[in-house]
Chain A
Amino acid sequence: MDWSDSPDQATFRDEVATFIKTRLPARYQEGEDGDEGFTGGWQADRKSDDATARDTAVSWADALAEKGWVAPHWPKEYGGAGLSVMEQFIYNQEMAKAAAPSVGGMGVSLLGPTMIVHGSDEQKAEHLPRVLSGEVAWAQGYSEPSAGSDLASLQTRATRDGDDFVINGQKIWTSGAQYADWLFALVRTEPDAPKHRGISFIVMDITTPGITVRPIVDMGWNEPFNETFFEDVRVPAANIVGEENRGWYVGMTLLDFERSGISGAISYERNIDRLLDYAKSEEGNKHVRQDWRTLRHEVAERHLEVGVLFNFAFRIVSMQNSGMVPNYEASVNKMFGSEIHQRLSRTGTKVFGLYANVWQEDGPHAPMKSEFTRDYVGSVPHTIFSGSSEIQRNVIATRGLGLPRG
């Protein structure tokens, strides 16, 4: 066992850190972490009304593209950096330490890798370069109003008509669809088949007639996701990725892809450090409750939990690096990480007492720009999306521990 870098790993870490230090645009340098794959700082910036935001998004994407680091995990033949598992991990660690936004959103993280495995040569040639260049941003259409945790019960219907499919139905929680150019979706192509067997994975231009994207305002006044409606939307049959009616398995390729969750651990650790620095500072002294040190054990417990979370992330990459395929371990990380996130934001609000009421970011009464209060609200869906904590525990128990399904 070894928690330190090998000489090669240290060299690569140094290369990434130096690159970020010299090339990360000023706008991102003091930024908070983008909620990766959720609202997407970069994805929103590139469509922003603010010209500086747009330029920053482009220049950061260009800088990463020079190194092939827009898609560090893609194979080289598709324009990725072909980094090893350990190098990807180090890359992600250093990006997270600098709170640097990743580029390319779901096109890079989800669509690309799925297409590389299941797509035709034509599909790859059409879509992958435009993901890497930042020309096209993608959104994901999986969930529906009646298909959440039970995703496979989805009902959005795609009916064959000549060379096209005609799509009718509704998706929900389509993150970032209002900034996206293309959509990948799971649709029902064979209604009479068992529910997992009648689904296809299909991609479409989001400006195709009949698609309506309506942002949903969340309980924190943000608009991270949307309802997306389909009314007689004609999509070429050639846009199906992988085999028709096998879309469930195409779509699950990446839900199964074990992410280590290291960026979460790094940002929580940084938030604890910043909270403590602030609480002990002269300015912070005005906002912390007078008896905040009674919370010392609670804060220490958060620090312990983050230490455990780091090790869970290390375990995933360590397993992958030695050729093992993580099983229940990725579910442990997702569940544990999202629950820590909520506890940490709660602890932060406790430290500020009445000042935890403040939502506004400016003015003399907003501790740390009210980020803990905002996170107290903003962390609520983290135990729900991408497989709720309950679903994760089911997966751990059945797939991991072999307990019988209910």
Chain B
Amino acid sequence: MDLGLSETQELLKNSARDFLENESPEQLVRDMEEDDAGYSPELWSKMAEQGWQGLLVPEEHGGAGFDFLDLCVLLEEFGRALVPGPFMSTVLGGAVPIMSIGSDAQKAEFLPRIASGDVIFTLALTEPSARFDEEGVQAEATVSGDEVTFNGTKLFVPDANVADYMVVVGRSGNGVTLGIVATDQPGVEVTQLQTIARDKQAEVKLNGATGQLLGTDGGGWAALEPVLNRYTVAECAYLVGLAQMDFEISVDYAKERVQFGRPIGSFQAIQHKCADMVTDVDGSRFIMYKAAWSLATDQPGDDTQMSVNMAKAWCSEATRRVVAHGQQIHGGIGFTKDYKIQLYFRRQKRAELAFGDADYHRELVAQQLGI
């Protein structure tokens, strides 16, 4: 048993932190809120040079061949820097499903291009029903040989505005069926939403959009479950990094802000909030890594499922408590657009909601406890 980072992970963490402090500063985060694309192609290329889009991709397909735990170490840094853009969509929504169920030809076609930063992917899962389960998938899939055609509406699709391909989740007569769909075809219509995090999520209408069948006709949900588990834990890792930074900014502020002739951080009312923040940040970090470790090392299925649901249930709520305390400690200045703490508060909500909030996952925990 050892809860420390390996040397490689320490190296990855430190180099990512240095890189992102320079390449994804607050100003870029703000600029991308107003930007139509929502990401910087220049930063995207530099990240590919770091080998990040291909971190999980096996070396034979041009990647670095790291494991999922390593990716979570990196994503903590993404949360810390609030890195804008389609990184998680591409890695978790594209590379991961293709690595796990893609044919050899599909792996050869797509993985090297993902690793090199040449293509952007996303996962088109949720629909207007806003469900995350198998029954929520109603978009129609029609399979014909190696091809699949989709009709229906997908909603809350991240980064659909810039994605070159989508892994679309639909339903054929045989059950849930996946396809890799190029977005530059008339059957794909993307309408951008304005969101709380000013990230890019869209409604995607599929009218006879055609692509490659990914996996088998009707075998989509079983194939998707491990992918969704990884995506869910990846969101937890992002939340941990985000909450850690919100906490650090707030503690620094409490040391500097003077009222009644002394730093507000000398008041117990503030100190106790800070103590609760670090407890929640640390608690979130380890429950997230436990789930990441379970996934990366292929622990028994029941244990892994439980640890994933526990992680998202806990991280969703604990990080919400953290950013709420962050706002309260800052007082009025924290409510202004100019001050940085609000960037964290708004983004926390997006990740809290992604793949189900605390209530959703706590329900799954309760079911697994047999209640």
Which A residues lie at the B interface, using CB under 8 A? 1-6, 9, 86, 272, 276, 280, 293, 296-297, 299-301, 303-304, 307-308, 311-312, 314-315, 317-319, 321-322, 328-329, 332, 335-336, 390, 392-394, 396-398, 400-406
Are B278 and A401 neighbours in the complex by a CB distance under 8 Å? Answer: yes
Are A3 and B1 neighbours in the complex by a CB distance under 8 Å? Answer: yes
Are A307 and B314 neighbours in the complex by a CB distance under 8 Å? Answer: yes
B339 within 8 A of A: no
In-complex Cβ contact of A404 among B2, B262, B294 (8 A)? B262
Are A300 and B366 neighbours in the complex by a CB distance under 8 Å? Answer: yes
Nearest 5 Cβ contacts at the A-B interface = A397-B271, A311-B286, A393-B275, A396-B275, A403-B265
In-complex Cβ contact of B369 among A300, A319, A321, A335 (8 A)? A300
A33 to B255 CA separation, bound complex (whole angstroms): 43
Are B271 and A9 neighbours in the complex by a CB distance under 8 Å? Answer: no
A311 to B1 CA separation, bound complex (whole angstroms): 11
In-complex Cβ contact of B272 among A4, A390, A404 (8 A)? A390
A400 to B272 CA separation, bound complex (whole angstroms): 12
Closest B residue to A308 by beta carbon equals: B283
CB distance from A370 to the nearest CB of B (A): 22
CB distance from A14 to the nearest CB of B (A): 15
0/1 interface trace, chain B 249-287, chain A, CB 8 Å (1 if under):
001001100000011011110111011101100110011
Are A1 and B3 neighbours in the complex by a CB distance under 8 Å? Answer: yes
A404 in contact with B371 given A297-B359, A300-B365, A393-B276 (CB within 8 Å): no
Are A296 and B366 neighbours in the complex by a CB distance under 8 Å? Answer: yes
Which size bracket describes the interface of B in this complex? Answer: 35 or more
Are B3 and A276 neighbours in the complex by a CB distance under 8 Å? Answer: no
Are B255 and A404 neighbours in the complex by a CB distance under 8 Å? Answer: yes
A300 to B363 CA separation, bound complex (whole angstroms): 8
0/1 interface trace, chain B 357-371, chain A, CB 8 Å (1 if under):
001001101100111
Are A322 and B2 neighbours in the complex by a CB distance under 8 Å? Answer: yes
A403 in contact with B271 given A2-B1, A276-B370 (CB within 8 Å): yes
Are B371 and A300 neighbours in the complex by a CB distance under 8 Å? Answer: yes
In-complex Cβ contact of B313 among A300, A329, A401 (8 A)? A300
CB distance from B11 to the nearest CB of A (A): 15
Closest A residue to B303 by beta carbon equals: A3
Are B283 and A312 neighbours in the complex by a CB distance under 8 Å? Answer: yes
Are B4 and A300 neighbours in the complex by a CB distance under 8 Å? Answer: no
Q: Which residues of A contact B310 (CB under 8 A)?
A: 303-304, 307
In-complex Cβ contact of A312 among B275, B286, B314 (8 A)? B286
Are B278 and A328 neighbours in the complex by a CB distance under 8 Å? Answer: yes
Are B5 and A297 neighbours in the complex by a CB distance under 8 Å? Answer: no
B290 within 8 A of A: yes
A401 to B359 CA separation, bound complex (whole angstroms): 31
> Counting chain A CB atoms within 10 Å of each CB, which of B4, B271, B276, B359 scores highest?
B271
Are A311 and B251 neighbours in the complex by a CB distance under 8 Å? Answer: no
In-complex Cβ contact of B371 among A299, A314, A328, A405 (8 A)? A299
Q: Which residues of B contact A405 (CB under 8 A)?
A: 266
B66 within 8 A of A: no
B 198-220 contacts with A by CB, 8 A? none
Cβ contacts A to B, 17 pairs, < 8 Å: A1-B289, A2-B2, A276-B370, A296-B366, A297-B363, A301-B313, A307-B287, A308-B286, A332-B275, A394-B272, A397-B275, A401-B251, A403-B254, A403-B263, A403-B265, A404-B265, A406-B262
In-complex Cβ contact of B278 among A4, A301, A332, A398 (8 A)? A332
CB distance from A265 to the nearest CB of B (A): 12
CB distance from A402 to the nearest CB of B (A): 7
A69 to B65 CA separation, bound complex (whole angstroms): 45
Are A1 and B371 neighbours in the complex by a CB distance under 8 Å? Answer: no
Q: Which residues of B contact A336 (CB under 8 A)?
A: 279, 283
CB distance from B313 to the nearest CB of A (A): 6
A396 in contact with B371 given A1-B4, A318-B4 (CB within 8 Å): no
Are B274 and A403 neighbours in the complex by a CB distance under 8 Å? Answer: yes
B293 within 8 A of A: yes
Are A1 and B278 neighbours in the complex by a CB distance under 8 Å? Answer: no
B69 within 8 A of A: yes
A135 to B246 CA separation, bound complex (whole angstroms): 54
Q: Which residues of A contact B263 (CB under 8 A)?
A: 403-404
Are B370 and A304 neighbours in the complex by a CB distance under 8 Å? Answer: no
A308 to B318 CA separation, bound complex (whole angstroms): 11
Closest B residue to A86 by beta carbon equals: B1
A317 to B274 CA separation, bound complex (whole angstroms): 24
Are B279 and A332 neighbours in the complex by a CB distance under 8 Å? Answer: yes
> Counting chain B CB atoms within 10 Å of each CB, which of A1, A314, A402 scores highest?
A1
Q: Which residues of A contact B254 (CB under 8 A)?
A: 403
Are B287 and A311 neighbours in the complex by a CB distance under 8 Å? Answer: yes
Q: Which residues of B contact A303 (CB under 8 A)?
A: 310, 365, 369
A332 in contact with B371 given A307-B310, A406-B267 (CB within 8 Å): no
A320 to B294 CA separation, bound complex (whole angstroms): 24
CB distance from B282 to the nearest CB of A (A): 7
0/1 interface trace, chain B 293-310, chain A, CB 8 Å (1 if under):
110010000000000001
Closest B residue to A393 by beta carbon equals: B275
Q: Which residues of A contact B265 (CB under 8 A)?
A: 397, 403-404
Query: Given A311-B283, A322-B2, A403-B254, 10 more contacts at CB 8 Å?
Result: A2-B1, A296-B366, A304-B287, A317-B1, A328-B275, A390-B272, A393-B272, A397-B271, A400-B278, A406-B267
